[in-house]
Structure 1
Amino acid sequence: MAQFYSAKRRVTTRQIITVTVSDLDPFGQGVARNNGKTLFINGLLPDESAEITLTEDKKQYARGQVKRRLSDSPERVTPRCPHFGVCGGCQQQHASIALQQRSKQAALGRLMKRDVEEVIADQPWGYRRRARLSLNYQPKTQQLQMGFRKANASDIVDVVQCPVLVPTLEALLVPLRECLNTLQGKRSLGHVELVSADNGPLLVLRHTAPLSAQDKEKLERFSHSSGLSLYLAPESEILERVSGEAPWYSSDGLRLTFSPRDFIQVNDGVNQKMVATALEWLDVQKEDRVLDLFCGMGNFTLPLAKRAASVIGVEGVPALVAKGQENAALNNLQNVTFFHENLEEDVTRQSWAKHGFDKILLDPARAGAPGVMQHIIKLAPTRMVYVSCNPATLARDSEALLRAGYQIQRMAMLDMFPHTGHLESMVLFERK
């Protein structure tokens, strides 16, 4: 006779433990210790105690969820954004700016094995001059959602406010959504990009099917009434300007034109201070020959050219090289040349590198510049500034320079993205 076994559902109760947070990591998580293990808890600040349950328990660390906070830190503040805690854009609006900066300084110091005394910061709100918002058509309501992704999810938070955006862009959120919802082709809209240039805001609209003449007319009217430049992107590689003029921003008093798709630093205030600090640290003299690696379209290169005898900018993206050359001509700088090169190859073999360089600046992407460091060492500059958007790869790349006899003279944490987990920095190396 066959027997059938029906297992009863086993009910387990998660144990509630009480912890006190000792630190804040760069991602806004409180750090505590439990049974000799590091414990990360979202939403808790240093010196706060709480009853929590474990949500993840690994060999080296664990994660917890707050059930009841038992005390409040004096550095706890009320988040400005109504979407905070749901939207994945910001992680630290509940912490004071001073605490955020101290935690990032400490994290950078741990990785670099030395104290970080300098912080380069600007306005903590209304700083973000670029944003990409997802669009999602809802068949039930026949309305478009427009916003950012939820934390650790693909769902969209339908944002009506975003206090980290520059005010001109934040003011567009509600009227732009209303405009897009009137379009016949709203089902085929992919995303929007908003950029604040020095000569006004611009909008890039990605659409996956042709827009009707009526829809294009509505969008153009909206661009005129809102005082923005309008670009349409029927394909990911195509950009059609409908209205407005080409965007530009200033760096060290120079005008840099750019395409809406070009990389520019999101935080203009910190970018201006970062460029000024790099120029000061390098101490560029009139007779100096300077190399700028990963130069983009000339954010550092052109200000360097105002002070040096000659500057070489090297970049791996051809479109940015062309834009750098255009910006040099626009600013009447004739002592600067841009080159498109694979920066993993030995740049010292290029004809323009034969005479060497006195100073070098490099600003690589998150992967850092492991393939470049040995070539830089061969060029033997007296001073070098490394601008980093990833402290882990900065620490790795720095080891090669330290072994070659360079010393760290100055180091600063760049508060480029307040309220987020992004940690940027810059370091001055000098050869003794």
Structure 2
Amino acid sequence: MDISVKIGDILEGEVIDINYEGGGVVKKDNFTIFLDKGLIGDIVKYRVVKVKKTYGIGKLLDIIKPSDHRIPSICNTSEECGGCPFQFFKYTNQLKWKEEKVKKDIEKIGRLDANIVKHIIGMEEPYRYRNNVQIPVGFKDGEIAIGFYESGSYNIANMSNCVIQTEISNEIIKTIKNFMKEYNLKPYDRKNKTGNIRHIGIRTNENNKAMVIIVTGSRNLPYSKELIRILTENFKDIISIYQNINSGNGPVVYGKKFKKLYGEDKIVDCIGDLKFSISPNSFFQVNRVQTKILYDKVKEYMDLKSEDIIFDLYCGIGTISLYMARQAKKVYGVEIVEEAIKDARENAHLNNIENVEFICGSSEKILPELKEKGIKVDKIVVDPPRKGCEKQVLDTIIEMNPERIVYVSCNPSTLARDLKHLSESVYKVKEIQLLDMFPGSIHTECVVRIERA
């Protein structure tokens, strides 16, 4: 291809799509350029910053004419913050784009008919939904800054009122920032190994109780007693405060060491009529309202019978296992993280559910062991991380030959890849339901019904 675009060129064009990181897509003489920002329909000015053989990268300089889909954001840092690139996008158009994105992945990657994708289920109120956040701490213009990273960088968008997290979380962050200024505590510098605080984690439950996690770069947290006093005096709903120690240089927020400074060991939250005891680093869906809808759809797709033996792979702290258990004969939850299995067993006891068994180990190892014990599975649910299922896990599932599989995914691309593998065996993908678990972001949750042909 004869590329007429050069690094440094300042060009104009219309945004025709949104890329998988939330930025705009423009064309110059049929050459695709991915921008850091922009909505479909925006007429924009941009600078070309990188040119490859088949595409370019551009930085948005100005919106010459805003799209009809663009709305004013209610977030004061949305111009900078990379956490919610869709804050300017009409919510109905957010949902439409997410639905089309999944359909494209299902067709192009999964080689499946997009008509099996059902309309996305959105939220009535797409704000204040996030019950778990980890917020970076650093410097900006010489001042302490606490907020999510700017799009495409490690610069912090200094926020005062994040509209996707709870109001108590915003107030706790303000209080910690003021505390750091008053006691001259510095953000942690990874390069020089100086300073103290590098992230703030906050979990909240349905009753607006909060667990606070202060992530430090070393064991030293000066004035910790004063911090506990200030937080607990200002917020009667703080039930737990932890220090987490993370001296690593990588992107992982939490280190292995959690030290309880105050209050309860865990926070308890609910989905439906079930209670779940949650450790500081346990996985729990961030959107409580949509999770109830998601798990109801899982139960519907599983078509549970009282004689069913169920395997729940990547079961985490047992949320889906316990949600299904009352309608099944027995549920086996499998999870490789030992701490999560301990929480799962505690949650079974908390809810007086006895027909579940939680096993620590990898799915590809545990499934054959269960088969050797004579345990025949009827149905399997999988809820893997964003990277999807390992091929060995999928092959083991196929070998186990359940009559039905329900696949829960937060990454449509890896989901489509895995569905292609399953559909090339004896299984047929019947239906995919989408849910907007993450309004304002580019992400979508999918739940899939798969049946043995």
Say whether the fold is shared (TM-score over 0.5).
Answer: yes
Distance 1:269 1:352 in 2: 40
- Partner Cα distance (1:42, 1:154) in 2: 14
Deviations 1:155-193 (CA, angstroms, capped at 9, x unpaired): 323221211112221232322321233336554223221
TM-score w.r.t. structure 1 length?
A: 0.89
Name the counterpart of 1:430. 451
Partner of 1:182: 182
Contact 2:41 2:68 in 1 (8 A): no
Q: Does 1:415 align with 2:442?
A: no
Aligned to 1:238: 257
Matches within 5 A, 1:109-124: 109-113=103-107, 114-115=114-115, 116-122=117-123, 123-124=125-126
* Equivalence map 1:366-405=2 (5 Å): 366-369=386-389, 370-405=391-426
**In 1: Cα distance, 2:46 partner to 2:138 partner:** 36
In the TM superposition, residue 298 of structure 1 has moved relative to its aligned partner by: 0.8
TM-score, normalised with respect to structure 2: 0.85
Residue 351 of structure 1: how far off its partner (Å): 5.3
Question: After the TM superposition, which of the residue ranges 99-108 and 31-40 deviates more from structure 2?
Answer: 31-40
User: Equivalents in 2 of 1:396, 1:68: separation in Å?
Assistant: 37
Distance 1:13 1:383 in 2: 52
- Counterparts of 1:321-340 in structure 2, within 5 Å, are 321-340=341-360
Deviation digits for residues 206-245 of structure 1, max 9, x if unmatched?
3324345x54144234224312123232633333333333
The question of whether the paired residues in 2 share the 8 Å contact of 1:252 and 1:276 is answered with no
Q: Which has the larger radius of gyration?
A: 1
CA distance in 2, matches of 1:225, 1:352: 57
Name the stretch that deviates more: 180-189 or 58-67: 180-189
Question: Using the alignment, how far apart are the partners of 1:238 and 1:58 within structure 2?
Answer: 43
Task: Give the counterpart letter for 1:381 in structure 2.
Answer: P
Q: Which amino acid aligns with 2:101?
A: A
Matches within 5 A, 1:115-264: 115=115, 116-122=117-123, 123-136=125-138, 144-183=144-183, 186=186, 187-199=195-207, 200-207=209-216, 208-211=218-221, 215-227=224-236, 228-233=238-243, 235=245, 236-245=255-264, 246-264=266-284
Distance 1:166 1:429 in 2: 36
Aligned residues of 2:228 and 2:241 also touching (Cα < 8 A)? no
Instruction: Describe the superposition over 1:60-85 as per-residue Cα deviations: whole angstroms up to 9, x where unpaired.
Output: 12233445544332211112212113
1:111–1:392: 8 Å Cα contact kept in structure 2?
A: yes
Partner secondary structure for residue 57 of structure 2: strand
**Is the contact made by 1:25 and 1:104 (CA closer than 8 Å) also made in structure 2?**
no
Task: Assess if the C-alpha contact under 8 Å between 1:25 and 1:103 holds in 2.
Answer: no
Shift of 1:51: 4.2
User: After superposition, what is the alpha-carbon deviation per residue over 1:40-75, rounded to whole angstroms, capped at 9, x for unaligned?
Assistant: 234332233334443332221223344554433221
- Hey, what's the Cα distance between the residues in 2 that align with 1:155 and 1:43? 16
User: How big is the alpha-carbon RMSD for the aligned residues of Structure 1 and Structure 2?
Assistant: 2.5
Q: Is the 8 A contact 2:136 2:200 kept in 1?
A: yes
CA contact (8 A) 1:26 1:103 kept: no
Which of 53, 57, 72 lines up with 1:59 in the alignment?
Answer: 53
CA distance in structure 2 between the aligned counterparts of 1:137 and 1:32, rounded to whole angstroms: 34
Structure 1 stretch displaced more, 377-386 or 341-350: 341-350
Deviation per CA, 1:117-157: give whole Å up to 9, x if none: 2313323211111111223368x96x643222222222323
User: Following superposition of structure 1 onto structure 2, how do residues 308-347 of structure 1 map, counting pairs within 5 Å?
Assistant: 308-345=328-365, 347=367
> Does the CA-based 8 Å contact 2:75-2:163 persist in structure 1?
yes
1:101 Cα shift? Answer: 1.6
Matches within 5 A, 1:239-318: 239-245=258-264, 246-318=266-338
Contact 2:240 2:263 in 1 (8 A): yes
Q: Is the 8 A contact 1:120 1:274 kept in 2?
A: no
In the TM superposition, residue 331 of structure 1 has moved relative to its aligned partner by: 0.9
| C-alpha distance 29-222 of structure 1, shift in aligned 2 (>3 A) | closer
Change in Cα spacing, 1:281 to 1:57, as seen in structure 2 (3 Å) is same
Percent identity over the alignment is 26
Give the superposition deviation at 1:347: 1.6
Cα shift at 1:106 = 1.1
- Give the aligned length: 418
Look up the equivalent residue of 2:315 and give its one-letter code. Answer: C
2:18 alignment partner AA = L
Query: Which residue does the alignment assign to 1:9?
Result: none
Could you tell me whether the CA contact under 8 Å between 1:346 and 1:372 is conserved in 2?
Answer: no
Which range moves more in the overlay, 151-160 or 92-101? 151-160
Q: Distance in 1 between matches of 2:300 and 2:434?
A: 16
Q: Does 1:363 align with 2:383?
A: yes
Q: Which runs of 5+ in 2 are unaligned?
A: 1-5, 108-113, 187-194, 246-254
Once the two structures are overlaid, the 10-residue window that deviates more, 49-58 or 165-174, is 49-58
Per-residue CA shift, 1:263-294, capped at 9, x if unaligned?
A: 11111112111111111111111111111000
The 8 Å contact of residues 193 and 204 in structure 1, kept in 2 or not, is answered as yes
> Is the counterpart of residue 43 in structure 1 residue 37 in structure 2?
yes
